[in-house]
Amino acid sequence: MAQLYYRYSTMNAGKSLELIKVAYNYEERGKRVLVLTPSVDNRYGKNVVVSRVGAVREAVGVDEDTNILQLFMQENAKGKIDCVLIDECQFLKKHHVQELVEIVDSYETPVMAYGLKNDFKNELFEGSYYMLVYADKIEEIKTICWCGRKATMVARVVDGEFVKEGEQIVVGGNDMYVSLCRKHYNDGRLNEKKDYSE
């Protein structure tokens, strides 16, 4: 039975690499996958999934008004889609997640969505919230803080300073976000040497 999977973590845990690996495994067995990524994430170009280790995968861009169910039906009509994979699913809207549910329930096609759970203010993204509501399986991909503890928070860094105010969605990479354990997120410490607390 097909299911909706939500695989979440903080930054730099290997979510995109995992998605690329899953796509490769399906295709190696002669299966067809539909890889999606929100268009707002254009750090490495449009319509691509890029891992920090250098693996790259083409994807279909999803805008706010994209109907993922219709997109799936169009692609499925060309040849059976065996799995739908989504990178950066925290940027999805409620209707997108509901459309993914329809793909799972009506077409018996597994959907695996990868993304952050909480933002730099430690609040849920819209996509994350609805993935938590609708997902059949929720799995954490773990990474660590600079201290060695499990990282569960994402800190935003602007001009070398730890910030907890600003717009929720500002796309960036290692230059702008750091994964931290709860203790060091709350303390405002980005590394062992320097104290960034306010």
48-107 per-position pLDDT tens digit = 888 877 788 999 999 999 999 999 999 999 999 999 999 999 999 999 999 999 999 999
Residue 197: pLDDT band by 50, 70, 90 thresholds? very low
Tokens of 125: 């993204």
Please tell me the distance from the alpha carbon of residue 133 to that of residue 38, in angstroms, as a whole number. Answer: 20
Tokens of 65: 């008004």
Please tell me the distance from the alpha carbon of residue 96 to that of residue 192, in angstroms, as a whole number. Answer: 40
Catalogue the active-site residues: 88
> Can you tell me whether residue 29 is helix, strand or coil?
coil
Please tell me the distance from the alpha carbon of residue 188 to that of residue 198, in angstroms, as a whole number. Answer: 7
Residue pLDDT, tens place only, 110-167: 999 999 999 888 889 999 999 999 999 999 999 999 999 999 998 888 777 777 776 7
Give the C-alpha distances (Å, rounded to integers) separating 27 from 2, 21, 83: 18, 10, 10
Give the C-alpha distances (Å, rounded to integers) separating 93 from 96, 165, 193: 5, 22, 39
Q: What is the pTM of this model?
A: 0.87
